[in-house]
Amino acid sequence: MAKKQINNDDLLANIIKGIEEVKGENIDILDLREIDNTVCDYFVICNGNSNTQVNAIVGSIQKIVSKELKDKPWHVEGAENGEWVLMDYVNIVVHVFQKHIREYYRIESLWGDAKITTIETKY
């Protein structure tokens, strides 16, 4: 049986909800659809203040997406150290950083052609 196609908007909304549930910060959505040869449609980038919070953000995203959409990431990488965790939902890739690691790599700057939407957090 084929896997049910998940709507990108629904997945994005639930990823953002998962980040906000545990007070993830500096949430940016990079729309990569207009850029040639990208590996996905969107990057969601955020940061936490410690490896504990980074892993809490990852867990919250997984829990909410699983509950609401019955979906799970195709691959998760980096959870062992909690400095930079990548969650691959195929069309959407989530990057959860510790703040200093995000500042060091500045991956947003690598995608200068992407339309960036910043999510204003309520806390």
Locus of tokens 């990431």: 73
- Please write down the long-range contacts of 80-84, taking CB distance under 8 Å and 24 or more positions apart: 81/51, 82/50, 82/51, 82/52, 82/54, 82/55, 83/51, 83/54, 84/54
Q: Is 107 helix (H, G, I), strand (E, B) or coil?
A: helix
- Which residue, 121, 117, 118, 119, is CA-closest to 33? 117
Q: According to the model, what pLDDT value does residue 117 have?
A: 96
Sheet holding 42-48, edge to edge: 75-77, 84-88, 92-98, 42-48, 25-31, 115-119
Residue 121 has a pLDDT of: 85
Q: φ, ψ for residue 58 (rounded to 5)? A: -60, -45
Please give the average pLDDT of every successive group of 10 residues along the chain, which has 123 residues: 73 98 97 94 97 97 97 96 96 98 95 93 79
CA atoms within 13 A on the CB side of 41: 10
Fold adopted by 8-118: Beta Polymerase; domain 2 (3.30.460)
